[in-house]
Each structure stands twice: as structure tokens, then as C-alpha cells.
């Protein structure tokens, strides 16, 4: 009976997964090829499928099976127990929320998002402020409904990084921030030195159709399986899964070769994770990615740790010259200088590998204090500017380039920002563990032999699915608790390189 119930439960989870995949295909199409005139009917189709998915996920038969299996979880195998435990955890969070609360919350986010666009355009924080006030109030309420015993920000974090806590992230980020402070000083000095002129190495005229071939070649070489995926174009690059079919997008700039290249490498990192999940557990927690932070660790691993290294460009520059002979005039040192250029700047999404995490630390501290009622929304713009001054030594001249630059808060995504830096921290710690197990990566990467690195990630991260929560997954993979040490050492090496490149 238990066995049959588990099989029925799995069959239902796979139906949910199929509907969700169909939804994502419609969304992917909307971002890539859909003609503009189809938007209304597409919105309807997406709404209809979302409704059907919700009905399936809240059907008494499914919930009954899940609760019954959960009561007897000790009698299931370890793998089966993961499927039941993680599904129940996710569904319990959802079903704790009254449906009128859910409706009120999504309509608030939809309105706030539209107001954010206006507020940013008009550089008027006052337009958005009342909505943010309401959003932070509603998120406090949500945390209380789900679990009144835990700190509210911990409960919100669970939506993106289950298993992470405010206290642990605060500690990690304090250490990271302290370690970054002297590096930022050194970066500032480098940015003012004459070496800065090399940023033009990958600028020029790079026809898009040739760039498309180069980007495909790079993604394939890193391990992207084109028989189970596609590379297309979108205004905001993203990756998504349509079941076993993983789709990534990039965006080309004819005047700048690095623009699409780093988007492609980043999204390829996400895709390699999805393509590495256990195929036999597709649609089950065992065959699902662990968390946003772990996902981001995979994209940042390939984009930054590999993609900005000297070994990588020793491999890539000859490949790129095959497509663009004009690159014969560009040296390896010039390219490295261009892709590792760093300086304190105002906009998070345009910032470099070294200063990036300070943008995240600021957002984390502000949203944590807002949720804990230690900071008022009205005081947010000033707190933002002061934080930028403290962390990066620069002050935004207006709110558009300050507190209004990101959409996350207007979407109610509180607890999302830290996952970006957690991804960087995990990636550096994974890299260190890989080098200890496989040996120095440089020689492999120089030859374009990425397989041993990918195999290690497959085994220690991808194949684990949701067996462990992120901090435990990284601890098991690397033999150490997550710390800021590997990332700080890596960034220190980058800064030292910038200092000696002359
Ligand atoms: Zn990403």
C-alpha cells in the first residue's frame, strides 16, 4: 500500500511538472519569438495553465497522499523521503496562506511594479514609497502566518535559499565586507592608473551572425548539450527548463564582444546545472535544483572564476580569432585587462566581480532592517546613499541610479538579493575544493578541457538535487562550512593581477 501510494504521488508530481513546463514554454516564447500582437491571448493562456496547475497542487487527493506518506516517512527509502519531505515543505508554506491574502499580495506586486517603472523614469521615490511601505508590511504578515516562531526575515529567505538564516548570512557578509574594504581601496588606485585604457580590447565591429557562431561554440565547449537545449536571444538574458530541454538566451552588441559572451557563459552555467540533474528523477525534488544561491554559484563559477581567468582566455583568444581575424592585433594581456576591469560604480548589474558583493551587502542590510522595523521606508533613500558612500566611496546623484535601480522590492522579492552573493561565496569555495581534488584547473582550462571540472560539479552538486539544503550541500561537497575566505582570496588575486599588469 505504501509503495503504491508513493508511486501515485510521483505520478501526480510528474503531471504538475508537465503543466509547469508547458507554462514555462509559453513564457520563454513570449520573451523570444512571440509577435507583439499576441500578448493578450498569451497572458490568458498563461493564466489558464497557472490556474490548472494550482488546482492540481491543491487537490484533496494529492494533499491526502502527501500527508499520509509524510506520516510514514521513516518507512520510505532515503531517496523517496527526499521527494516527500521537500514537496510537503513547499506545499505547507503555500497552503498556510489564505487565498484572499495571496490574491491581495499578487495584485499589490503587480501595481507596485508598474509604479516602480514610473517612479524610476520620473526619478521620484515618493511615488513608490507608499507601495513599499505596504509591501514590507504584507511580507511581515506573510512570515508571521507561515511561522510566527522564527525571525520574519528567516522565513522570507526560505523562499529562495531554504536552510540559510539571517544570523549566518549577517556574519558571512560582515566578514566579506571587511575583507573587501581594503581591496576596494586598491581597485580605486588601479582604476586611476594608465592601465585603464585597455578596456577597449574587445570593442570594435563584431557582426552578430558571426558572434552567434562563436557563442554557440563556447557554450558547447563548456559542456552545454544542444540536443537537449537551445541558445536564443532575449532583451534580458535568462535560462529556463522545459522538462529535459534547457533553454538559454543571450543579447548581442555589435560593438562589444564581451557583452554577449559573458551573458552566454553565465546562462550556460545555469543550464549545465539543469542538464546535470538526475534524469530519472525529472520533476521530483531529487531531480530539482537546490536553491537560487546554488544555482547562481554554477553560473558565477563559469562566468567569473573560469571565464575571467588567464587560462580561459589562453584557450578562447585563438578560438575567437578564428571568427574575428581582427583580434590578431589584441594581446592576451589586453583582453584580460578588459574583462577584469574594476572600479566602484553606482549600478549593481553593471558592476565588476570585485565591487559587486558590496552592492548586495547594502541591499541585504537595508531589507533586513526594513523587515525588522529598524528602518522606515521614508528613510530608505538616505540610508542607501550613506551605505554607498560607506561601502564604495561614491554617492548616487539621484534615486534613479540609487534606491530605484532594482525591481526586486517592488515585486515583493525580499530575501532574494543575498542569493547573488551566496552564489559567489559558494562558487569560490567549490573552486577551491575542485583544485584540491582534481588539481590546478589552469592546465585543463587552457586546453579547453572543461570535462573534469564539470564532472566534479555533476557529482557533488548537480546529482544531489534537493537531498540537502544549500549550506549542508556546500559543506558536504567541500568538506568545510561556508566561509568568505575562498572568495576573498580569489578576489585578492584578481586585484594583485590588476596592480601588476603594467
Ligand atoms: Zn544568474
Rg (CA), the chain: 23
Task: For residue range 476-490, list pLDDT tens digits in order.
Answer: 999 999 999 999 999
Task: For residue range 258-271, list pLDDT tens digits in order.
Answer: 999 999 999 999 99
Rounded to the nearest whole angstrom, what is the distance from the C-alpha of residue 74 to the centroid of ligand 1? 36
In this prediction, residue 98 carries a pLDDT of 93
State the burial class of residue 402 (Cβ atoms within 10 Å of its Cβ: 0-12, 13-18, 19+).
buried
Rounded to the nearest whole angstrom, what is the distance from the C-alpha of residue 245 to the centroid of ligand 1? 18
CA distance 502 to 497: 9
Rounded to the nearest whole angstrom, what is the distance from the C-alpha of residue 6 to the centroid of ligand 1? 34
pLDDT at 195 over 70: no
CA distance 6 to 83: 10
In this prediction, residue 454 carries a pLDDT of 98
Nearest of 423, 413, 468 to residue 157 by alpha carbon:
413
Rounded to the nearest whole angstrom, what is the distance from the C-alpha of residue 325 to the centroid of ligand 1? 31
Task: For residue range 421-440, list pLDDT tens digits in order.
Answer: 999 999 999 999 999 999 99
Provide the annotated active-site residues. 267
| Per-residue pLDDT band at 90 (split at 50, 70, 90) | very high
Nearest of 6, 157, 171, 167 to residue 80 by alpha carbon:
6
Direct distance between the N- and C-terminal alpha carbons of the chain, in angstroms, rounded to an integer: 72
Task: For residue range 348-357, list pLDDT tens digits in order.
Answer: 999 999 999 9
Other CB atoms within 10 Å distance of the CB of residue 333: 15
The fraction of the chain above a pLDDT of 90, given in percent, is 95
Task: For residue range 96-108, list pLDDT tens digits in order.
Answer: 999 899 999 999 9
CA distance 500 to 118: 45
CA distance 214 to 325: 13
- 457 CB-near residues (< 8 Å, 6+ apart): 272, 273, 276, 298, 301, 430, 434
pLDDT at 491 over 80: yes
| Per-residue pLDDT band at 196 (split at 50, 70, 90) | low
For the four alpha carbons of 455, 457, 462 and 467, in that order, the dihedral sign comes to: positive
Q: Is 439 left (phi over 0), alpha (psi -120 to 50) or beta?
A: left
Rounded to the nearest whole angstrom, what is the distance from the C-alpha of residue 266 to the centroid of ligand 1? 6
Rounded to the nearest whole angstrom, what is the distance from the C-alpha of residue 277 to the centroid of ligand 1? 17
CA distance 66 to 192: 61
Phi, psi of 122 (to 5 degrees): -85, -5
Rounded to the nearest whole angstrom, what is the distance from the C-alpha of residue 268 to the centroid of ligand 1? 10
- How distant, in Å, are the alpha carbons of 138, 353, 374, 392 from that of 185? 40, 15, 30, 9
> 355 by DSSP, 3-state: which?
coil
pTM (2 d.p.): 0.96
pLDDT at 368 over 70: yes
pLDDT at 404 over 70: yes
- How distant, in Å, are the alpha carbons of 14, 49, 80, 390 from that of 2? 18, 31, 11, 58
- DSSP letter at 97 equals S
Rounded to the nearest whole angstrom, what is the distance from the C-alpha of residue 357 to the centroid of ligand 1? 14
> 480 by DSSP, 3-state: which?
coil
- Check if the beta carbon of residue 303 is closer than 8 Å to that of residue 297: no
In this prediction, residue 193 carries a pLDDT of 78
Task: Enumerate the β-bridge partners of residue 240.
Answer: 247
Amino acid at each position: 500500500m505504501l509503495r503504491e501510494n508513493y508511486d501515485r504521488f510521483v505520478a501526480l508530481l510528474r503531471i504538475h511538472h508537465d503543466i509547469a513546463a508547458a507554462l514555462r514554454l509559453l513564457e520563454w516564447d513570449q520573451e523570444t519569438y512571440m509577435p507583439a500582437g499576441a500578448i493578450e491571448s498569451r497572458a490568458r493562456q498563461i493564466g489558464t495553465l497557472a490556474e490548472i496547475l494550482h488546482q492540481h497542487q491543491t487537490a484533496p487527493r494529492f494533499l491526502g497522499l502527501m500527508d499520509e506518506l509524510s506520516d510514514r516517512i521513516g518507512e520510505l527509502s532515503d531517496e523517496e523521503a527526499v521527494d516527500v519531505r521537500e514537496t510537503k515543505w513547499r506545499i505547507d508554506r503555500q497552503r498556510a496562506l489564505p487565498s484572499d491574502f495571496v490574491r491581495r499580495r499578487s495584485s499589490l506586486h503587480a501595481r507596485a511594479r508598474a509604479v516602480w517603472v514610473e517612479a524610476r523614469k520620473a526619478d521620484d521615490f515618493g511615488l513608490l514609497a507608499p507601495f513599499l511601505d505596504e509591501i514590507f508590511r504584507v511580507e511581515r504578515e506573510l512570515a508571521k502566518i507561515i511561522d510566527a516562531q522564527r525571525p520574519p526575515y528567516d522565513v522570507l529567505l526560505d523562499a529562495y535559499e531554504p536552510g540559510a538564516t539571517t544570523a549566518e548570512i549577517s556574519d558571512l557578509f560582515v566578514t566579506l565586507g571587511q575583507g573587501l574594504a581594503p581591496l576596494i581601496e586598491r581597485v580605486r588606485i588601479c582604476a586611476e592608473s594608465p592601465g585603464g585604457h585597455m578596456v577597449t580590447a574587445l570593442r570594435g565591429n563584431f557582426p552578430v551572425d558571426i558572434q552567434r557562431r562563436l557563442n554557440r561554440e563556447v557554450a558547447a565547449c563548456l559542456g552545454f548539450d544542444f540536443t537537449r537545449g537551445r541558445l536564443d536571444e532575449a532583451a534580458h538574458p535568462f535560462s529556463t527548463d522545459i522538462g529535459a530541454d534547457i533553454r538559454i538566451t543571450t543579447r548581442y552588441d555589435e560593438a562589444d564582444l564581451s557583452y554577449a559572451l559573458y551573458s552566454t557563459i553565465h546562462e550556460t552555467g545555469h543550464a549545465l546545472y539543469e542538464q546535470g540533474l538526475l534524469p530519472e528523477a525529472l520533476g521530483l525534488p531529487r531531480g530539482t535544483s537546490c536553491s537560487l544561491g546554488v544555482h547562481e554559484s554554477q553560473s558565477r563559477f563559469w562566468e567569473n572564476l573560469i571565464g575571467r581567468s588567464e587560462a580561459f582566455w589562453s584557450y578562447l583568444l585563438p578560438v575567437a580569432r578564428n571568427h574575428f581575424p581582427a583580434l590578431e592585433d589584441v594581446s592576451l594581456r589586453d583582453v584580460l585587462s578588459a574583462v577584469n576591469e574594476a572600479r566602484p560604480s553606482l549600478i549593481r548589474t553593471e558592476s565588476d566581480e570585485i565591487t559587486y558583493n558590496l552592492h548586495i551587502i547594502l541591499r541585504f542590510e537595508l531589507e533586513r532592517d526594513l523587515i525588522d522595523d529598524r528602518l522606515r521606508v521614508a528613510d530608505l533613500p538616505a540610508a542607501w546613499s550613506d551605505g554607498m558612500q560607506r561601502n564604495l566611496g561614491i554617492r548616487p546623484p539621484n534615486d534613479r541610479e540609487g534606491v530605484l535601480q532594482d525591481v526586486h522590492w517592488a515585486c515583493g522579492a525580499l530575501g532574494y538579493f543575498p542569493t547573488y552573493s551566496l552564489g559567489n561565496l559558494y562558487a569560490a569555495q567549490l573552486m577551491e575544493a575542485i583544485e584540491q581534488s582534481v588539481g590546478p584547473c589552469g592546465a585543463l582550462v587552457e586546453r579547453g578541457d572543461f570535462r573534469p571540472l564539470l564532472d566534479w560539479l555533476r557529482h557533488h552538486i548537480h546529482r544531489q538535487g534537493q537531498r540537502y539544503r544549500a549550506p549542508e550541500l556546500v559543506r558536504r561537497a567541500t568538506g568545510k562550512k561556508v566561509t568568505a575566505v575562498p572568495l576573498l582570496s580569489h578576489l585578492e588575486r584578481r586585484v594583485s593581477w590588476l596592480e601588476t599588469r603594467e
